[in-house]
Amino acid sequence: MPSIPELFATMEWGPAPEAAGQAEAWLDRHRRKFGHWIGGGWVEPSGEEWFATINPANRQTLARVAQGSAADVDRAVRTAREAQQAWWALGGHGRARHLYAIARQIQRQSRLFAVVESLDNGKPIRESRDIDIPLVARHFYHHAGWAQLMGQELPGYGPVGVVGQIIPWNFPLLMLAWKIAPALAMGNTVVLKPAEFTSLTALLFAELCGEAGLPPGVVNIVTGEGATGAALVDHHDVDKIAFTGSTEVGRIIRAATAGSGKKLSLELGGKSPFIVFDDSDLDSVVEGVVDAIWFNQGQVCCAGSRILAQEGIAESLVARLKVRMETLRVGDSLDKAIDIGAIVAPVQLERIEALVAQGKEEGAECWQPSWSCPTEGVFYPPTLFTEVSPAATIAQVEIFGPVVVLMTFRTPDEAVELANNTRYGLAASIWTENINTALDIAPRVKAGTVWINCTNVFDAASGFGGYRESGFGREGGKEGLWEYLVPLVPTSAPPLPAPVAGEPVLREGVDRTAKLYVGGKQTRPDGGYSRMIHDFAGGAVAEVGEGNRKDIRNAVEAARKAERGWATATAHLRAQVLYFLAENLSIRATELTVRIAGLTGVSDAEARREVEAAVSRTFGYAAWADKWEGAVHQTPFRNVTLAMPEPIGVMGVVCPEAPSLLGLLSTILPPIAIGNTVVAIPSERWPLLATDCYQLFDTSDIPPGVINLVTGSSDGLAAVLAAHDDVDGMWYWGSADGGAEVERRSSGNMKRTWVDQGKSRDWFAVSSEGPEFLRQSTQVKNIWIPYGA
């Protein structure tokens, strides 16, 4: 007879399968073949192409789904367009009732949804049942509330219109909820394309919308592969694209939508650091790693896939992790007793295997538990790499599987440096028992979500989204709603008179020329050329330096150098500097008035009005500097979730042509008020109002490098700025073509852009100051901090 401890040690877990009968019956009811869901019913696809969706835990086909064609997409978009006005006209309360009905219905059918999800994706039933589906319901409840409150909380804003949404396969129904709930709440209608590996819960959801009485055409689902997604992106009558998936496809979509006027939000990949200080509670850390990288087989965009361990505990942590990894169980997704399910598809397994092989080749130490995975499905064991160099492929590339790399650091500064040594910036988690350490590191890590002593926690009330190449835009929380809104009354101004001068006259020699302003110094343009500026009547007034690529590079360098100090200066200090600037500006009011009137030919009164507006605007941003506040989100866990608006970094700003002084200050001051540094291209036609300000900036104590001005060709310099990889964000106020070029070129480092599509804005309007500009100057970081009991 074995002893009880021996029994414990050797006891095998029996299988504990969740029943699949109801899910199988649903599939059978559809004869395991699905068309698209358009206009509130099933629609036969226009073509004859179907593809199989498999259960990766046993490689068997679950059903066949339609390969959506451009014609199918067009039909869905037209249907969504027809439904949109009535959906918006229903009002906030009407839409709230529908979203609430969907939330209730999901709860009623939660088991069916969980089983279908686990079958199609391979994820453990414990996760789909306890995490995915409850969060889906929570998203619809939460956004039912936003629909209800829209009129009170978001006055002056309305829906974007028809939204195209493309989602990945790792959290199929949850990503659907993240996309559909806010879009519908704000009065938009949608066409959603699920990922080709996991279409089934979206189709089940479509049916649920029908049962819940959602008006036809509000939600449309078109299935298919990447080409179907591309057709949706390219459709001329889609007003916005919301995408979650790989950075590679995100980049394609950025380029494809450039110049189309479509709004765009991208939630892309990550290589998120999991930082362990040597004073942390290692038992919690080990469970944290399990949640960080073995949750959902590591197929999580914000997976903590880079453990950064402080040297003192690294060895002990590795030992404990190995012990824990031995106890993890991999197996059938419907088995309630497994920890890790199947990888979504064979192609994804191959990707993981190739990256692991490369990790070994590059010299890292690979460790896997002694047991082996079941052989009939698509499985991969939990894997730990040590002896990893920070530059190694496996330390830089998103593996999207149950594979974690571990590196060590000595000091907090080194931890921050390693954490930020990535192109991505989606999430981070920080483990320490010392609150000072945690709150010192959290603001320094470049990531949209920071979890302190926890990881992979999500809620509808909190925003989620990336910095850098992890994309832009937020999902969840109030910050997520802006993606689905536009101002109801766009501001517009009468078109400008056509310029008198034709081609600019460039001349060699820059002796009596207004120079560029870089790093707090007036500098000669690198090329040694200048251009003549003319007044409204064509008379030559003065020359300004003709900036080139090298000048932009120098200006970006100066802005980068100033960035850290300015971003960490107190908001009070930034406010003071801007007040000082406003004061100095008003002392020069008469001189600036004469300059404006002389150049542009407007009346003295009109010129005076511009200068007064410019002074008021500068006071305005001095006032805003310490009032652009974040929020504490009401997430239902034992923590506070701080939504902190942070500066984007170095921003390129192409200023409006006119009014040139008010336009300049209206576009460079909001980023600066919030802690960004700026490289600006002043009005090409009348840059003299900008060059007149150099001294003002100097005498107002604006630190060198915070404002840099490069005069010359707006679109030529804009193209250089947009392609510059060390510029983090860019605003463009100019021609439609120039804006399209900026958007296209921005995809290199996925800098966020704000382009006005050639529409002219009334810069005197109240709406040309404040919230819209400050939102575009910041990115929200959500910091989750354990709190209370």
Q: Work out the angle at residue 201's Cα, subtended by the Cα atoms of residues 36 and 118, and round it to the nearest 5 degrees.
A: 145
Q: Active site includes 591?
A: no
Does residue 710 sit in helix, strand or coil?
A: coil
Query: Among ligand NAI, Mg ion, none, what binds residue 353 when CB lies within 5 to 8 Å by partner kind?
Result: none
Q: Collapsing DSSP states into helix, strand and coil, what is residue 469?
A: helix
How far, in Å, CA of 122 to CA of 124, rounded? 7
Beta bridge partners of 429: 274, 451
Stretch that binds Mg ion, among 196-204, 230-238, 377-385, 692-700 (CB under 5 A): 196-204
**Is residue 427 part of the contact set for ligand NAI (CB under 6 A)?**
no
How far, in Å, are 106, 196, 343 from residue 400 at the CA level? Answer: 28, 17, 10
If binding is defined by CB under 6 A, does position 70 make contact with ligand NAI? no
Structure tokens, 365? 């130490």
Least CB distance to ligand NAI at residue 53 (A): 13
For residue 485, the surrounding DSSP H or E stretch is strand 485-487
By CB under 5 A, is residue 335 in contact with Mg ion?
Answer: no
* Residue 150, amino acid: M
C-beta of residue 587 within 8 angstroms of C-beta of residue 638: no
DSSP letter for each residue of 282-331 = HHHHHHHHIIIIIGGGG--TT---EEEEEHHHHHHHHHHHHHHHHH--B-
Q: Which span (167-175, 586-594, 669-677, 685-693) binds ligand NAI, by CB under 6 A?
A: 167-175
Cβ proximity to ligand NAI, 400 vs 628, nearer residue: 400
Stretches 24-32, 165-173, 441-449, 631-639: which one binds ligand NAI (CB under 6 A)? 165-173
Site for Mg ion contains 53 (CB under 5 A):
yes
Residues in the chain: 789
Closest contact distance (angstroms) between CB of 47 and ligand NAI is 17
The residue of the chain with the least Cβ separation from ligand NAI equals 229
Closest among 176, 245, 117, 182 to 460, alpha carbons compared: 182
Structure-block tokens of residue 48: 């004859």
301 in active site? yes
Name which of 168 and 402 has its Cβ closer to ligand NAI. Answer: 168
Pairing of strands 306-310, 403-409: parallel
Catalytic residue among 209, 301, 302, 693: 301
C-alpha–C-alpha distance, residues 560 and 619, integer Å: 26
From residue 118 to residue 157, what is the string marking binding to Mg ion with x (rule CB under 5 A)? --x-------------------------------------
Query: What minimum distance in Å lies between the beta carbon of 782 and ligand NAI?
Result: 17
Q: Decide: is 400 part of the binding site for ligand NAI (CB under 6 A).
A: yes
Is residue 268 involved in binding ligand NAI (CB under 6 A)?
A: yes
Binding string, residues 315-354; x marks residues near ligand NAI by CB under 6 A: ---------------------------------x--x---
The entry of Mg ion, ligand NAI, none that residue 53 binds, CB within 5 to 8 Å by partner kind = Mg ion
CB closer to Mg ion, 23 vs 83: 23
Binding at 759: pick from ligand NAI, Mg ion, none (beta carbon under 5-8 Å per type): none
Residues facing residue 555 across a β-bridge: none
**φ/ψ of residue 473, rounded to 5:** 95, 160
- Would you call the peptide bond into 671 cis, given omega within 30 degrees of 0 as the criterion? no
**Interface positions, 186-205, toward ligand NAI (CB under 6 A):** 193, 195-196
- CB burial class (10 A; 0-12, 13-18, 19+) of residue 116? buried
Say if residues 463 and 780 touch (Cβ distance below 8 Å).
Answer: yes
Which is the catalytic residue, given 267, 563, 646, 741?
Answer: 267
CB of 538 to ligand NAI, least distance (A): 49
Between 52 and 505, name the residue whose CB sits nearer to Mg ion: 52
Would you tell me which residues interact with Mg ion (CB under 5 A)? 53, 120, 197
Active site residues: 267, 301
Would you tell me which residues interact with ligand NAI (CB under 6 A)? 166-170, 193, 195-196, 225-226, 229-230, 233, 244-246, 249, 252-253, 268-269, 301, 348, 351, 398, 400
